[in-house]
Structure 1
Amino acid sequence: MNKRLTGACAAVICMSFGAEAVALEWNVSVWGKRRAFTEHIEKLAEMVSEKTNGEFTMNISYGGLSKNTENLDGISIGAFEMAQICAGYHEDKNPTLTAAELPFLGVNTLPEEVAVSTALYQHPAVQKDLARWNAMLLMPSPMPQYNIVGTGEPRGSVDQFEGMRVRATGGLGEAFKAVGAVPTSVTASEAYNAMESGVVDTVAFAQHAHLSFRTIDQATWWTANLNPGTVNCPVVVNTDAYEALSPEFKEALHSSIEPAIDHYIENYNKLLDRWEEVLAEKNVQKVTISEDDLAKFRGATAGIQDEWLAKMDGQGIPGQELLDTIQTALDEARASN
């Protein structure tokens, strides 16, 4: 697998164990519950603890430290040392990351998502963007292309998306808006209630989230091949906390990133293998969108990238460079396979 990002953070809780060792605990803010989306964080914590003989540990909190939409703010003020964020929750706070959330970028696999995100995170403009929040990018949380679940009659064509209320954030929300749908950016944790109460008709998620946040429990149909894009949800760390780490702790952290992501992908692939069984068990109809409709969808969203570039230019952000970085990384990842 390609080289990973190595940044991190820690505003730390320290206890002296004599003059020989200092035990360190980082608080890590995530949300929901332990699931495929957080397995790399769990693996990272496990490996770091093992490599440091328990002297550097991570307390992973599922919602107990912050709201998911406020994790970047918490990192900024040092309320905790590490967190998972999603660019689409606060586009104005991390505009450079939204490059990876644009629709129809052509990324097809989890390793491709890792390659694209890693390259993007290493771009100076992205690092400068996150530095405004005293944050360093540690590693991606690669997710497959999003698809939607819904209730009632299946919406098997783009024309049927007209007026459809869909939970979709960031660039995905813009994509659905381009074909007449009405996007709503409720958080993942709120999606089930939004669907149950009729605030939305459909929810766009990756497979693990449909399971974890139980939207699949209400669904009568699921689009198998819409694949308009995905969200970008890196793991970030507080810069000051990272700089306070000893060389040994930094090495333990950095050397654990690649195996943690390998573990994440292996685990996620097992979930994808089970997905067909889940659909059958819950009697959810699989809807396949025709190639003509997919082409229509892509055509309707063609202007979104141009609008995004104009917006980035207006903020002094090299948007075209970021898109070129993504495309180059994607080409290289495919060539290496």
Structure 2
Amino acid sequence: MQIALAPMEGLVDDILRDVLTQVGGIDWCVTEFIRVSDRALQPPAFLKLAPELARGAQTRAGVPLRVQLLGSDPTLLGESAAAACELGAPVIDLNFGCPAKTVNRSRGGAVLLNEPELLHSIVASVRRHTPAHIPVTAKMRLGYASSHGALECAQALESGGAAQLVVHARTKLDGYKPPAHWEWVARVQEVVKVPVYANGEIWTVDDWRRCREVCGVADVMLGRGLVSRPDLALQIRAFEAGEVLPPMSWQALLPLLQSFWRQAMHKLSPRYAPGRIKQWVAMLTRGYPEATALFDQLRRETDCQRIAALLGLEEQQPTNGLESREAISI
């Protein structure tokens, strides 16, 4: 069984990848999507969102990192993939699942599921431009407005050269509304020969167990569930081995929050760092009452020193930040 950490734009950046993979149980992770629009990308574009490429394409815990590209021009995507491979990307992943309106309006993400022939052309071009030993993989939803074309899209990706598919078991219009239609993952696996990963609405071990019963595939990609419960992958592995692992306590989780804040203060400007910690703490409220209390204290706090104190840290001096990309607001 393989367990992957999902590539969630604006959430799972290199800081959160570092922290979550330290917990354990994750086999590989993926960058936030790297957009390819009007020109092939150069090395700085990759290193900004995937600084792990300068460290052997691994997180500090040794978990391999894949590079994910998003766009609609087969040639530019192929050339960009070649550049990422030169930087050491071990796998090139292609995004055909992002539901964001701004992304879809610019012909990226899930909207491309309306054009199976283009899906094939994109994967085939990336496959031609990259070394044979570097796999090309793809992440897809079930479709844009409906799942009627899901099987055709999966077959188009496979025939283009995709060595693996991750299926988020909802359409673009479904967004993130439950339920996830895991039965469609089984249908996709029936029509392709490459491995298929199930993704979507796996928040607990019970969710994972039911997902596996419904879709029959062994491999999963965890997104919001793992961000909300950082030990979810370890919990799943323990269950698979017939063991019971006590859930991670708040006391064990707090050092991860502290590590996250230290890195956010180093990388981000004081204007944006508070939003990032609030974002993660808000998601942790799903499983930790202590996170609810902490979020209530953080909600309107913008002073970095006071945030450090709330996290139990001694005085932290903010840097100017290496990046000013605004995080998702809470």
TM-score normalised by the chain length of structure 1:
0.29
Q: Say which structure, 1 or 2, has more relative contact order (CA 8 Å, 6+ apart).
A: 1
Normalized per residue, the structure richer in strand is 1
TM-score normalised by the chain length of structure 2:
0.29
